[in-house]
Amino acid sequence: MTRKRILFLGASGKIGPHLTPGLAPHYDLRLADVQPHPDGLDIAHVDVTDYEQVVAAAAGVDAIMNFTVVRGDPEQSFRVNVQGAWNVMRAAAKLGIGRVIHSGPEAVMGTYDGEFDLEDAPPAPGTGYYGLTKHLSRSLCREWARAHQIPTICLLFCFLGPRPERTIGRDFHRFAVVYDDLWDACRRALELDPVPDWYQEVNLLSFGEHGKYSAAQARRLLHWEPAEHWEKYYRRPIDT
């Protein structure tokens, strides 16, 4: 079977290098970023804020994964997070690309921290500039996906890390996903057919025993489950 060709934007960032090992065995990855890869892998220099560069890099691929992000700079965060997402969707529409994987932070913590068993709550990105730019990018991707019939899935999480080790004295992040689980979610999102209503968002969290937030949509849509019950690494002895 022919392996899918994937343009992986943001391959050198804080998330991309941790995803490549889980995706490379399954797909032909075209790694792209504006900076060198920390592991020395070959990188195509692609500035996501430049539409022509995105179109050129996306020629001939089957899907685009957009994990580009800028947080601190108010000008660049808008250009990368919002304009970059627009350029990806424009390129997908122009080239007839059959799948886009978008990414972003969850948009429920803070507003809903007092709730439990929370599922499908309306996004509440707050007033932080970074959160608002990513929320705008989600809205933009949704409208372009539906207008141009581009199957698009947005993966939402807050903290990404390695497999935990047994630990005492600290807890797991309530909206964290481990590398293994994000690899699996990406692969399932790339293969899902059809994508209902052309655009779907899923929350990803590997630690669900706290009951605060829900990955039920990822389970329903992608048939995704955490690889392990990661909470076992955080069990504490009880003094009696």
pLDDT tens-place string over residues 96-154: 999 999 999 988 887 877 787 777 777 878 788 888 999 999 999 999 999 999 999 99
CB 81, CB 120: distance < 8 Å? no
Fold that domain 5-234 belongs to in CATH: Rossmann fold (3.40.50)
Q: What is the mean pLDDT of residues 28-42?
A: 97
CA dist 70 and 217 (Å) reads 27
Q: What is the mean pLDDT of residues 55-83?
A: 95
Kindly state the tokens that stand for 225.
């489950």
pLDDT band at residue 173 using 50, 70 and 90 as cut-offs = confident
Kindly state the tokens that stand for 163.
């497999």
- Provide the residue ranges of all domains of the chain, joining segments of one domain with +: 5-234
